[in-house]
């Protein structure tokens, strides 16, 4: 179960990451954020984002028409 969802489908770099950061700040520490994106570069970007911020990329999946990420806010 996630606390919040960001639908960044149709948005291009860097908007999915920027929307994610904004939403993550509205999730309590320890909470989970779901992000939907269509940007094919987002897989690499979300991994890098989580490594740099120290939040946890719980899952990263490529679905049929888009990508789905779950991030746990750790700080």
In the complex, the smallest distance separating the C-beta of residue 49 from other proteins, rounded to whole angstroms, is 6
Residue 29 near other proteins by CB under 8 A: no
Which residue in the set 3, 4, 5, 11 belongs to the binding site for other proteins (CB under 8 A)?
Answer: 11
In the complex, the smallest distance separating the C-beta of residue 58 from other proteins, rounded to whole angstroms, is 18
Which stretches does DSSP call E strand in the chain? 4-8, 32-37, 56-62, 67-72
Q: Order the strands of the 56-62 sheet from edge to edge.
A: 4-8, 32-37, 67-72, 56-62
Give me the residues that bind other proteins (CB under 8 A), please. 10-15, 17-18, 20-21, 49, 52-54
């Amino acid at each position: 179960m996630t606390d919040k969802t960001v639908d960044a489908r149709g948005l291009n770099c860097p908007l999915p990451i920027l929307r994610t950061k904004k939403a993550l700040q509205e999730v309590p520490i320890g909470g989970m954020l779901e992000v939907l994106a269509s940007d094919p570069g987002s897989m690499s970007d979300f991994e890098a984002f989580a490594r740099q911020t120290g939040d946890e990329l719980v899952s990263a999946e490529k679905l049929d028409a888009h990508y789905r990420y779950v991030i746990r806010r750790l700080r």
